């Protein structure tokens, strides 16, 4: 039976899978693709059940327009596209180009992300474009840029992980977020390597660790500084590496020496002997890695926190060498590619800077427009959402559900409701799409071809395996039709390979150079690592000879601990941290529509320690209210001693009264503009059921 080799629509691991026609012949089913190296055939439940969302029972199959009576009513594509073009141009005419916003997603393919950025800047002429990937990776990206001069999530393939000597995994629960990746850690231990997990919860991933450090949420920066202090104090620095391949050590060293172990124990709650043990484990082998995820990154000091972990790697010579280095485990399916090709507020394709005259000239040349016509950088994601209804009055949204996934979500929902005009392109009627004036139903992963770039920087090809239902169009077709209605007849092809060929030219010579990558080459090599200039091979391992800075040296950045934006007090005495569960994905827009996944994870919960439960009168399985300065959420209590007694955890996949993001703090990192999802102050109130 014919099968199509493709990739999962969800997370950044981008597991390989084969699709074949199902028994009825109307849909597809997933079968193993053992030869794809990243997951070697393994899939989590989300990947295995992904075809369920292709069913017409759960998806949008025709455009909708809000009627005078306020209801979303079926419409033709012509009516819907005319309405979107009219809504966007009316706002632009009345209030200027920057009154029109565009919000994208880290799940969009490279072709879509590229076209959306071009659409915003060339067709709408607006600077107001950003995307939900800002919530996912921007602190690590900023720290990467600062230290190494280049941001690629992992500078090495995952296959290197089991062969290193020690991994410090910071704020990542791979067992729930990317289960097939857990085997890399299992193999690490089988090979004699050691695993240190940093997480305020003893997660299923932390259970695998040789050493689990459970810092108070919001104190990872102090923890990293404390480890670096001990590295220096115990004479474990690699002076030869520091002298040959880095700059800025004296300042970073001085900053670390101000964070002595007893102080760090007071800040983090991690005992000094455990700090010493971590340093011993990290420094003993020839090679070691630090991998971070959303835990340390989604903080108002996320860039500095990641920077502190990078400093630890540099001071010990664990960077720019085989089997050593710092890497970020990007979250969303195309979180990596999505940030490289122009849907980010400050960037042009190829990871070029919008403020760089040479970059503007190059990309404008590819687009056939005057460089001066390109707008400058716009607002970051939360700031854009916060400006809806005031400075930004109309919005085109693709592949995102901020009403559930943005911090301070009730406020964001209020802002979305206050828009003059909202158009949403999505596959399901998400909570945000339900508020739109026009909803455009679009094709899904198995119904269209396009590339994504996984967390390793490996560019992959998703292939069309199924004919889409007649009532839906691709995002590229939507942008093509809207551009034509707004007066730009050319430059928005609907063929993804044609878009990719233009993207290659636009990225040529940029930091994320895709010019040597083609659909044919991806298919032949089962993925190509960027940078890959024309005529060259891809680059699985970065920085082995030099870092991507002007002088080729990595830069230490002196950083110091500072408190989270909100600390517990008498009124809000408990810390809240948020995260994911294995059976749901991000805002749950797709996975909440899969019965098998819903049965496994039907709703939100509040995880808390028995001592805290006793103090607030929480009872297992009974509703518990969590209240912050921004809102209130109610969900059943789940009592466990695997979490710190000063902290509660809520997963963030659900809308309604269990919406965790009703509580979260939009305090922004000053460099990355990443909101502080991972820590805020709350109080708990038992609720009569
Ligand atoms: Fe899909 Fe990620 Fe699960 Fe792999 S780990 S099957 S990419 S959701």
- Give the tens place of pLDDT for each residue, 4-23: 999 999 999 999 999 999 98
- Return the beta strands (E) in 35-77 as ranges: 64-66, 72-74
Boundary of a domain, candidates 309, 329, 349: 329
Place of tokens 């099968």: 3
Last residue of a domain, one of 295, 329, 363: 329
Q: Is residue 588 part of a domain?
A: yes
Residue 515 domain flag = no
Tens-digit pLDDT profile for residues 544-573: 999 999 999 999 999 999 999 999 999 999
Residue written as tokens 């990746």?
A: 181
The band of 688, judged by pLDDT with boundaries at 50, 70 and 90, is confident
Q: Which residues does 29 contact at the CB level (< 8 Å), separation at least 6?
A: 19, 20, 21, 22, 23, 51
Q: Are residues 128 and 147 in the same domain?
A: no
Residue in the block written with tokens 């050319």: 490
* 15 in contact with ligand 1, CB cutoff 6 A: yes
Nearest atom within ligand 1 for CA of residue 180: 5
Residue 39 alpha carbon, nearest atom of ligand 1: 4
* Residues 229-244 pLDDT 10s: 999 999 999 999 999 9
Phi-psi region of 434 (alpha: psi -120 to 50; beta: other; left: phi over 0): alpha
Contact 647/575 with Cβ under 8 angstroms? yes
| Pair (206, 245) in one structural domain | yes
673 within a domain of the structure (yes/no) = yes
Tell me the torsion sign for CA atoms 140, 146, 151, 157.
negative
- Choosing from 9, 11, 30 the residue with most ligand 1 atoms within 8 A of its CB, the one to mutate for a pocket test is 11
Q: Residue 149 falls within a domain, yes or no?
A: yes
Work out whether the CA dihedral 237, 242, 245, 248 comes out positive or negative.
Answer: positive
Same domain, 129 and 147: no
Pocket of ligand 1, candidates 8, 585, 594: which has the most ligand atoms within 8 Å of its Cβ, to mutate?
Answer: 8
Distances (CA, A) of 408 to 12, 379, 386, 519, 633: 25, 17, 10, 41, 12
Instruction: Write phi, then psi, for 268 (nearest 5 degrees).
Output: -95, -25
- DSSP conformation class of 593: G
The DSSP-derived string for 464-478 is: --SPPPTT-B-HHHH
CATH classification at residue 46: 2.20.25.90
Centre of ligand 1 to C-alpha 17, Å, is 10
What ligand 1 atom has the least distance to the C-alpha of 178? 5
The SS3 assignment for 311 reads helix
What is the separation of C-alpha 549 from the centre of its chain, rounded to a whole number of angstroms? 25
Residue nearest to atom 3 of ligand 1 (CA): 44
Q: Choose the residue to mutate in 13, 293, 527 for probing ligand 1, maximizing ligand atoms within 8 Å of C-beta.
A: 13
Summarised one tens digit per residue, pLDDT across range 456-503 is 999 999 999 999 999 999 999 999 999 999 999 999 999 999 999 999
The residues, any chain, with a CB within 8 Å of residue 279's CB and separated by 6 or more, are: 227, 230, 231, 234, 236
Whichever domain contains 196, its CATH number is: 3.40.228.10
**Contact present, 229 and 256 (Cβ < 8 Å):** yes
The rounded distance, in Å, linking the Cα atoms of 118 and 341 is 9
* Spatial CA neighbour of 575 closest among 678, 685, 687: 678
Ligand 1 centroid from CA 90, angstroms: 41
Give the distance from CA 29 to its chain's centroid.
27
Same domain, 218 and 90: no
Q: Which domain holds residue 38?
A: 4-54
* Block residue for tokens 């520091």: 242
- Residue 91 and residue 99: Cα distance in Å, rounded? 7
Distance 181 CA to ligand 1 centre (A): 9
Closest by CA to 604, choosing from 617, 593, 592, is 592
Question: What pLDDT, on a 0 to 100 scale, did the predictor assign at position 136?
Answer: 86
- Angle 292-295-297 from CA coordinates, rounded to 5°: 70
Residues 340 and 298 placed together within one structural domain of the fold: no
Q: Say whether both 627 and 579 belong to one domain.
A: yes
The phi, psi pair for 576, rounded to 5°, reads: -110, 135
- Residue 355 main-chain phi, psi, to 5 deg: -90, -5
Residue with tokens 């880290």: 106
Structure tokens at 656: 């309604």
Same-domain status, 127 and 146: no
Phi and psi (nearest 5°) for 648? -115, 155
Determine if the peptide bond prior to 531 is cis (ω within 30°): yes
Question: Could you tell me if residue 322 is inside a domain?
Answer: yes
Atom 4 in ligand 1: which residue has the minimum CA distance? 15
- Residue 305 and residue 301: Cα distance in Å, rounded? 6
**At residue 73, what are phi and psi to the nearest 5 degrees?**
-120, 150
Whether the CB of 43 sits within 6 Å of ligand 1: yes
Domain C-terminal end among 329, 356, 374: 329
Tokens of 56: 């017409």
536 assigned to some structural domain: no
Q: State the pLDDT confidence band at 619, using cuts at 50, 70 and 90.
A: very high
Sheet holding 528-529, edge to edge: 450-453, 458-462, 528-529
Indicate the pairing of strand 211-213 with strand 194-198.
parallel
pLDDT given at position 335:
87
Going by C-alpha positions, the residue among 63, 36, 60, 34 that lies closest to residue 438 is 63
The CATH number given to whatever domain includes residue 357 is 3.40.50.740
Q: What are the tens digits of pLDDT across the range 565-603?
A: 999 999 999 999 999 999 999 989 999 999 999 999 999
Express each pLDDT in 104-154 by its tens digit. Answer: 999 999 999 999 999 999 999 999 999 998 998 899 999 999 999 999 999
Helix (H) or strand (E) segment spanning residue 520: helix 519-525
At 689, the pLDDT band (50, 70, 90 cuts) reads low
Whether residue 29 contacts residue 49, with contact meaning beta carbons closer than 8 Å, is answered with no
The pLDDT tens digits of the residues spanning 181-237 come to 999 999 999 999 999 999 999 999 999 999 999 999 999 999 999 999 999 999 999
- Our answer on whether the CB atom of 167 is closer than 6 Å to any ligand 1 atom is no
- Region of 342 please: left (phi>0), alpha (psi -120 to 50) or beta: left
Q: What are phi and psi of 371, to 5 degrees?
A: -55, -35
Share of the chain above pLDDT 90, in %: 95
**CB of 633 closer than 6 angstroms to any ligand 1 atom:** no
Whose Cα sits closest to atom 6 in ligand 1? 47
Q: How far apart are CA 426 and CA 432, in angstroms?
A: 10
Same domain, 169 and 198: yes
Cα pseudo-dihedral 287, 293, 299, 300, rounded to 10: 70
Residue 520 belongs to a domain: no
Q: DSSP for 141-161, please give it.
A: HHHHHHHHS---S-SS-GGGG
pLDDT digits (tens, 9 = 90+) for 639-665: 999 999 999 999 999 999 999 999 999
Could you tell me which residues come within 8 angstroms of residue 352 by beta carbon, excluding any fewer than 6 positions away?
Answer: 359, 362, 363, 510, 511
Of 328, 391, 273, 341, which Cα lies nearest the Cα of 131? Answer: 341
Give, in order, the Cα–Cα distances in Å from 135 to each of 53, 68, 206, 219, 650: 24, 35, 24, 19, 17
**Does 552 reside within a domain?**
no
Q: Tokens 């005495």 belong to which residue?
A: 573
Pair 322, 393 in one domain: no
Report the number of distinct structural domains present in the chain: 4
Residue 1 pLDDT level (bands cut at 50, 70, 90): low
The conformational region for residue 621 under phi > 0 = left, psi -120 to 50 = alpha, else beta, is left
> Counting atoms of ligand 1 from 1, which one is nearest the CA of 17?
6
State the sign of the Cα–Cα–Cα–Cα dihedral 383, 561, 309, 145. positive
Shared domain check, 381 and 293:
no
Q: Which two three-digit tokens encode residue 524?
A: 């032949």
Residue 474's nearest CA partner among 130, 116, 121, 133 is: 116
Same domain, 611 and 657: yes
Q: Is pLDDT of 425 > 80?
A: yes
CB neighbour class for 321 (10 Å; exposed up to 12, middle 13-18, buried from 19): middle
Predicted local distance difference test score (pLDDT) of residue 30: 96
CATH number of the CATH domain containing 634? 2.40.40.20
For 242, the 3-state DSSP assignment is: helix
Q: What is the mean pLDDT of the chain?
A: 96
Give yes or no: residues 319 and 428 share one domain. Answer: no
Assign 330 a pLDDT band (cuts: 50, 70, 90). confident
CB 637 within 8 A of CB 613: yes
């Amino acid at each position: 039976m014919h099968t199509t080799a493709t990739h999962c629509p969800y997370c950044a691991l981008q597991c390989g899978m084969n699709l074949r026609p199902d028994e009825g012949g109307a849909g597809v089913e997933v079968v193993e693709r053992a030869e794809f190296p990243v997951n070697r055939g393994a899939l989590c439940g989300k990947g295995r059940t992904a075809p369920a969302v292709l069913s017409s029972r759960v998806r949008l199959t025709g455009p909708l327009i809000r009627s005078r009576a306020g209801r979303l009513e079926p419409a033709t594509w012509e009516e819907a596209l005319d309405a979107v073009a009219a809504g966007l141009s009316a706002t632009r005419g009345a209030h200027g180009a920057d009154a029109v916003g565009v919000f994208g997603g880290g799940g969009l393919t490279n072709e879509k992300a590229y076209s959306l950025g071009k659409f915003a800047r060339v067709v709408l002429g607006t600077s107001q474009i950003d995307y939900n990937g800002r919530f996912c990776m921007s602190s690590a990206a900023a720290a990467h840029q600062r230290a190494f001069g280049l941001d690629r999530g992992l500078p090495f393939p995952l296959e290197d992980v089991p062969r290193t000597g020690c991994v410090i995994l910071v704020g990542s629960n791979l067992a729930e977020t990317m289960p097939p990746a857990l085997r890399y850690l299992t193999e690490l231990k089988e090979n004699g390597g050691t695993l240190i997990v940093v997480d305020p919860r003893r997660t299923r991933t932390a259970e695998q660790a040789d050493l689990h450090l459970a810092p108070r949420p919001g104190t990872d920066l102090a923890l990293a500084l404390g480890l670096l202090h001990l590295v220096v104090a115990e004479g474990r620095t690699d002076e030869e590496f520091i002298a040959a391949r880095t700059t800025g050590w004296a300042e970073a060293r001085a900053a670390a020496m101000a964070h002595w172990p007893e102080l760090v124990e007071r800040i983090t709650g991690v005992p000094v002997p455990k700090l010493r043990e971590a340093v011993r484990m990290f420094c003993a082998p020839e090679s070691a890695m630090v991998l971070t995820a959303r835990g340390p990154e989604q903080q108002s000091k996320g860039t500095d926190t990641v920077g502190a972990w990078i400093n630890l790697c540099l001071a010990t010579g664990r960077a720019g060498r085989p089997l050593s280095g710092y890497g970020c485990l990007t979250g969303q399916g195309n979180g990596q590619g999505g940030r490289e090709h122009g849907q980010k507020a400050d960037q042009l394709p190829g990871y070029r800077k919008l403020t760089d005259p040479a970059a503007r000239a190059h990309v404008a040349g590819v687009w056939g427009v005057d460089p001066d016509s390109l707008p400058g950088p716009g607002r970051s994601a939360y700031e854009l959402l916060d400006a809806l209804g005031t400075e930004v009055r109309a919005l085109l949204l693709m592949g995102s559900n901020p009403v559930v996934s943005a911090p301070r979500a009730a406020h964001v929902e209020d802002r979305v409701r206050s828009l003059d005009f909202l158009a949403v392109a999505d596959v399901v009627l998400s909570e945000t799409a339900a508020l739109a004036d026009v909803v455009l139903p679009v094709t899904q992963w198995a119904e269209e071809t396009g590339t994504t770039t996984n967390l390793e920087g490996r560019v992959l090809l998703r292939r069309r395996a199924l004919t889409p239902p007649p009532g839906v169009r691709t995002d590229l077709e939507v942008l093509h039709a809207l551009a034509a209605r707004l007066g730009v007849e050319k430059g928005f092809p609907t063929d993804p390979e044609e878009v990719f060929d233009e993207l290659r030219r636009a990225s040529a010579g940029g930091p994320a150079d895709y010019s040597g990558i083609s659909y044919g080459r991806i298919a032949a090599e089962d993925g190509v690592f960027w940078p890959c200039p024309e005529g060259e091979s891809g680059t699985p391992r970065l920085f082995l000879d030099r870092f991507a800075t002007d002088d080729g040296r990595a830069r230490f950045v002196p950083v110091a601990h500072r408190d989270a934006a909100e600390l517990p007090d008498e009124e809000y005495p408990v810390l809240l941290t948020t995260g994911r569960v294995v059976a749901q994905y991000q805002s749950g827009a797709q996975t909440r529509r899969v019965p098998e996944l819903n049965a496994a994870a039907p709703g939100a919960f509040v995880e808390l320690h028995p001592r805290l439960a006793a103090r607030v009168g929480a009872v297992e399985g009974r509703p518990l209210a969590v209240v912050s300065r921004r809102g209130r959420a109610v969900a059943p209590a789940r009592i466990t001693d695997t979490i710190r007694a000063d902290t509660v955890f809520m997963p963030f996949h659900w809308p309604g009264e269990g919406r965790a993001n009703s509580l979260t703090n939009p305090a922004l990192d000053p460099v990355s503009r990443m909101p502080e999802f991972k820590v805020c102050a709350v109080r708990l109130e038992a609720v009569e059921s």
